[in-house]
Amino acid sequence: MTSLQTETATATAARAIAKPGEAVEITPGVHWIGALDPSLRTFDIILRTANGTTYNAYLVRGSDGVAVIDTVKAGFGDEFFARIESVADYDEIRIIVLNHLEPDHTGALPELMRRAPNAKLYISTRATSMLKALLKPKDEDRPLSFETVGTGDEVSLGDRTLRFLHTPFLHWPDTQCTYLVEDGVLFSGDVFGCHFCDGRLFNDRSGDFRFAFDYYYAHIMRPFKTHVMNALKLIEPLPLKTIAPTHGPILRDRPRRYIKRYRELSASTFADEIGNEERSLIIFYMSSYGNTARMAEAICAGAEEQSGLRVSLYDLEGGETQPFVDLIESADALALGSPTINGDAVKPIWDLLSSLAVIDLKGKLGASFGSYGWTGEAVRMIEDRMRGLKMRVPVAGLRIKLIPTDEELEECRAFGRAIAGAIASGEKGRVIDFAELG
Amino acid sequence: MAKAKITFTDIDQTVNVPAGTRVIEVSEKIGAGIIYGCREGDCGTCMMHVEEGWNNLTEPSVLEEKVLRENMASRHDRLACQAQILGDCRVKPA
């Protein structure tokens, strides 16, 4: 930890609700037993965090035993177990719910299972193989005591009931939420979470974490918008007092606004703008001597002849990658033009293509074109990458050596018409031949 | 060569394929929502639900049956990386 981080941590600790070795009550009988990781600056390679993160885990006490919901990352077990011990004995733990089996929530699981031998695990139906991969049980081990659960399944703690919601792909296939019926607490896993570390724990006490909430959504949930919408249909009807996610502040003050925010972030924006009847094609290009640019303009002109298609044309050199990613998310098709330099497409093209993992590209159409001097590999490489991203490439790429002639510009217009035709014929219900998929 | 139609109901797209084609080969190219992990019938990630045409897919192997059981598959669930298309069917992610 740097001296600055030490200062920050000390300043935060002074206001902290989370004190070492103590569980924090959320509502009577329900405690936060997680861990703080204030010095973390990069989570899971892909996410930056300005003040660290938390690994939230929870303990629910009923008249007939205790449930632990999720655990913490390996290395944070001491903090986690000390908090458990402040409110429960291990022998009382009958239930361990794992809403998501990623290692930041299951690092302390093997030790918890060792200390709480009476506990049975409750996981989603899709989590079995991951559980076995995590624990790697040997033949001589005690058989794993676990049960798989789906939407509507319940487990009783006597006077309290845990009800499960199957919410897959938020953000792994195994993810689920657990609802404490009598208290209106939703243990939401990574949903509604964020990488934000504040010992004050609750959203009405923490620093302003809105940027972290949106950033987390953009990098973790955004590729799964359809699944988010499906999950919201299950979550929205629930009476809710508190949303207790596995990272970041516990949302006890007006929790519904975070659900509303997820709905806003998951809605399609461009479809609202142009109406669902119209399809959209976005053409991006890079050009050294204006040749690929002229191809792009001709392709655009050809595509625009198709009715019901909105075509947009952009020079990648003139913008930042992020807003372009937003545009692609709303488009039906994407055409990329690049010259070939040293046997490769140019870097801004790869920068754009490598930034698309955060959006859902499945079913979008892709096309590639470019002018080249000697070898012209860029077009095929872009097509390969598009296929790798699960896009369909229905029209073979167009390459033109150096300066396009009038005839070649007509080829470009025809190429644009062919892409537009593929978009139009991709209307739902049409039977596509396997050979067309390339 | 015999042909068969497979419909991915989540994206409402139908593809006419040569009989014997594995579902994975089609679903990845058309961009259906089935997600793949190991691609060799071990991890269960690509479980799909067969809405119609259950009998128009190849029989599951012993290994696939085991993985389906472990993943609490329902009656008409299959692994998309294993099942080959023999006749018309309709599938969606499980």
Backbone dihedral region of A283: left (phi > 0), alpha (psi from -120 to 50 degrees) or beta? beta
CA-to-CA distance for A432 and B5, rounded, in angstroms? 9
Whether A431 has a pLDDT exceeding 60, the answer reads: yes
Query: What domains are defined for chain B?
Result: 3-93 (3.10.20.30)
Residue A132 pLDDT level (bands cut at 50, 70, 90): confident
pLDDT digits over B49-58, tens only?
999 999 999 9
Q: What is the pLDDT of residues A364-383, one digit of tens each?
A: 999 999 999 999 999 999 99
3 state SS of A373: coil
Contacts for A283 with CB less than 8 Å, ≥ 6 apart: A296, A299, A300, A303, A311, A312, A313, A314, A335, A336, A337
Q: Sorting pLDDT into bands at 50, 70 and 90, what band is A28?
A: very high
Encoded amino acid at B13, one letter: Q
Angle, helices A291-304 vs A406-425, to 10°: value is: 50
CB B25 within 8 A of CB B82: no
| Whether the predicted pLDDT of A245 surpasses 80 | yes
Q: What is the pLDDT of residue A14?
A: 60
| Residue of A128, A426, A428 lying closest to B71 (CB–CB) | A128
Percent of chain B at pLDDT exceeding 90: 67
Chain B CB contacts of A438 under 8 Å are 29
> What is the predicted pLDDT for the residue at A328?
95
- CB contact B45 to A (< 8 Å): yes
Q: CA-based diameter of chain A, in Å?
A: 83
What was the pLDDT predicted at A138? 80
Strands across the sheet containing A24-27: A24-27, A30-32, A58-62, A65-69, A93-97, A120-124, A146-149
What Å distances lie between residue A66 and A123, A159, A220, B31, CA to CA? 17, 11, 31, 44
Of B11, B14, B44, the CB nearest to A431: B14
Q: Confidence band (pLDDT; 50, 70, 90) for B90? A: very high
Give residue B50's Cα distance to chain centre: 7
Report the C-alpha gap between A67 and A83 in whole angstroms. Answer: 14
Q: What is the mean pLDDT of residues B35-45?
A: 87
The answer to whether the CB atoms of B14 and A226 lie below 8 A apart is: no
Portions of chain A given CATH number 3.40.50.360: 271-423
More confident call, B28 vs A214: A214
H/E element holding B6?
A: strand B3-8
Residue A2 above 60 pLDDT? no
Asked if residue A228 has pLDDT above 50, the reply is yes
Q: Which residues of A116-175 form beta strands (DSSP E)?
A: 120-124, 146-149, 154-156, 161-166
The domain A13-266: what is its CATH number?
3.60.15.10
Look up tokens 């006419």; give the residue. Answer: B16
pLDDT per residue as tens digits for the range A72-120 = 999 999 999 999 999 999 999 999 999 999 999 999 999 999 999 999 9
Residues B71, A361: C-beta atoms closer than 8 Å: no
The H-or-E segment that residue A229 falls in is: helix A225-235
| A343 has a pLDDT exceeding 50 | yes
**pLDDT of A205 strictly over 80:** yes
Nearest to A432 among B30, B42, B47 (CB): B30
**Domain A271-423 belongs in CATH node 3.40.50.360:** yes
Q: Are the beta carbons of B15 and A433 separated by less than 8 Å?
A: yes
At residue A69 the predicted structure's pLDDT band, cuts being 50, 70 and 90, is very high
Name the nearest CA neighbour of A364 among A325, A329, A414, A399: A329
Whether A12 has a pLDDT exceeding 60, the answer reads no
Contacts of B94 (CB under 8 A, 6+ apart): B47, B48, B49, B73, B74, B77
Neighbours of A51 (CB within 10 A): 21
What percentage of chain A carries pLDDT values higher than 90?
78
Contacts A–B by Cβ distance under 8 A: 69
DSSP A346: -
Which pLDDT value is given to residue A11?
47
Q: What is the pLDDT of residue B36?
A: 86
Q: Per-residue confidence at A388, pLDDT binned at 50, 70, 90?
A: confident
Instruction: Provide the sign of the torsion angle of the four alpha carbons A336, B26, B74, A96, taken in this order.
Output: negative
Q: What is the mean pLDDT of chain A?
A: 92
Residues 6 or more apart in contact with residue A309 via CB below 8 angstroms: A278, A279, A280, A281, A303, A420, A423, A424
Looking at chain A, the number of H-run helices and the number of E-run strands are 14, 22
Give the residue with greater pLDDT, A227 vs A270. A227
- Is the CB of A427 inside 8 Å of chain B's CB atoms? no
B24 touches chain A (CB under 8 A): no
Amino acid in the structure at residue A338 = S
Answer whether residue A427 shows pLDDT above 60.
Answer: no
For residue A139, the model assigns a pLDDT of 75
A138 touches chain B (CB under 8 A): no
- Is the model's pLDDT at A294 over the cut of 70? yes
A chain contacts of residue B33, beta-carbon cutoff 8 Å: 226, 362
How large is the average pLDDT for residues A116-132?
91
pLDDT at B30: 84
Strand partners, A398: A369
Q: Is A391 close to B30, i.e. CB distance below 8 A?
A: no
Q: Which residues of A touch B67 (CB under 8 A)?
A: 129
Residue intervals of chain A classified under CATH 3.60.15.10 are 13-266
B15 has a pLDDT exceeding 80: yes
Window from A52-56, A197-201, A339-343, A358-362 with minimum mean pLDDT: A358-362
